[in-house]
């Protein structure tokens, strides 16, 4: 399924994703407020746009305000407007976001950061359909459908007295909770292919080579704390760094700050290893493993060794001498390991 946005496309096929989109589609024609909950990068703004575009207000304004982007002293003036002379620097009257969104939709992102004063004024606007500019004595009638988003636990904040419970009641006619990417079965591959193809086209590649199996497996197993936004960055970075468009992309870097030269605490030098011992050659380069799930030790070690080799081969464009240097082993030691795992044909001398 695909939902259009101004610059990106909302893509997914997992049941968790489709359920959230379906709930947004059903809520769109209603005039009631909607809360969109989700981790960063899950697409909350895209859901807000869908709610507007599928509503009867689709020809009217969709006004967006990030509540966390303004200092607390300016949020109320931004939301409700102000009259000339209402405060220092207010040289002329200015309408607020509510008036801008009249007859349309107002999307309040990062709702949980609103100050107590702004929450109280927002409550009146939702309850009575009226806003009062700062410095004015008379309210103004507005017809605004509110969609709000946050990654905060608003019921817990209300229980702690950090968010008005009565405002939460009025905004939560419908609550759409977006699933994180790590639970969207199959969507990582679909999204990676889409973002990869688009980046390849931007680079004017003749064909799209796709990702090597080990790189695709790494993306599937990654937790994606930044969700779709992070996946897009990882994929586009991997594509533009790849020098051989005719060969599947064999390296993805999840942490753009990862570098052998980044500041770090001193570490102990790696211990020397025998030239004929492939099992210990890569031991110092291994990542953490879930030892509780290992059933066949030999198979687990072999799989881990192979994954490390594939990762570093891809990172070094399959150049064996550079790969050996990166792993801190000799060329002969690396060749021994590659032969053991049937990977000799993957590299170049």
The half-sphere exposure of 230 on its side-chain side, counting CA atoms within 13 A, is: 19
Cα–Cα distance between 60 and 53 in angstroms, integer? 9
The half-sphere exposure of 18 on its side-chain side, counting CA atoms within 13 A, is: 8
List pLDDT tens digits, range 122-181: 999 999 999 989 888 899 999 999 999 999 999 999 999 999 999 999 999 999 999 999
Residue 24 has a CB neighbour count (10 Å cut-off) of 23
List pLDDT tens digits, range 10-31: 799 999 999 999 999 999 999 9
- Domains defined along the chain, listed by start: 2-179 (3.40.50.300), 183-346 (1.10.8.60)
What pLDDT sits at residue 325?
80
Phi/psi of residue 220, each to 5°? -65, -35
The structure's pTM equals 0.73
List pLDDT tens digits, range 208-242: 999 999 999 999 999 999 999 999 999 999 999 99
Beta bridge mates, 9: 4
- Per the model's pLDDT, the better-predicted residue between 196 and 278 turns out to be 196
């Amino acid at each position: 399924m695909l939902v259009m946005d101004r610059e990106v496309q909302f893509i997914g096929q997992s049941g968790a994703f489709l359920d959230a989109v379906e709930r947004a589609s059903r809520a769109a024609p209603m005039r009631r407020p909607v809360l969109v909950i989700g981790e960063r990068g899950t697409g909350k703004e895209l859901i807000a746009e869908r709610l507007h575009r599928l509503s009867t207000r689709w020809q009217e304004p969709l006004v967006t305000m990030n509540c966390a982007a303004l200092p607390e002293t300016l949020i109320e003036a931004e939301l409700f407007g102000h009259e000339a002379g209402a405060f220092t620097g207010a040289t002329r009257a200015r309408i607020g976001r509510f008036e801008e969104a009249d007859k349309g939709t107002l999307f309040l992102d990062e709702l949980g950061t609103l100050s107590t004063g702004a929450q109280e004024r927002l409550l009146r606007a939702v309850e009575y359909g009226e806003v009062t500019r700062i410095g004015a004595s008379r309210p103004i009638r507005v017809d605004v459908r509110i969609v709000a988003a946050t990654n905060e636990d608003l019921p817990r904040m209300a229980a702690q007295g950090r968010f008005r419970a009565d405002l939460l009641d009025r905004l939560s006619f419908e609550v759409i909770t977006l699933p994180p990417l790590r639970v969207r079965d199959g969507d990582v591959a679909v999204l990676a292919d889409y973002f990869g193809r688009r980046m390849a086209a931007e680079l004017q590649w003749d064909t799209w080579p796709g990702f090597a199996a080990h790189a695709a497996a790494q993306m599937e197993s990654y937790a994606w704390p930044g969700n779709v936004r992070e996946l897009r960055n990882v994929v586009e970075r991997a594509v533009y760094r790849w020098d051989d468009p005719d060969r599947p992309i064999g390296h993805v870097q999840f942490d753009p700050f990862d570098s052998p030269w980044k500041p770090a605490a001193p570490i102990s030098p790696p211990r020397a290893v025998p030239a004929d011992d492939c099992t210990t050659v890569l031991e110092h380069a291994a990542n953490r493993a879930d030892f509780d799930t290992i059933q066949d030790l030999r198979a687990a070690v072999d799989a881990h060794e192979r994954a490390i080799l594939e990762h570093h081969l891809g990172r070094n464009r399959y150049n064996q001498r550079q790969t050996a240097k990166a792993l801190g082993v000799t060329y002969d030691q690396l060749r021994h390991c590659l032969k053991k795992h049937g990977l000799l044909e993957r590299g170049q001398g």
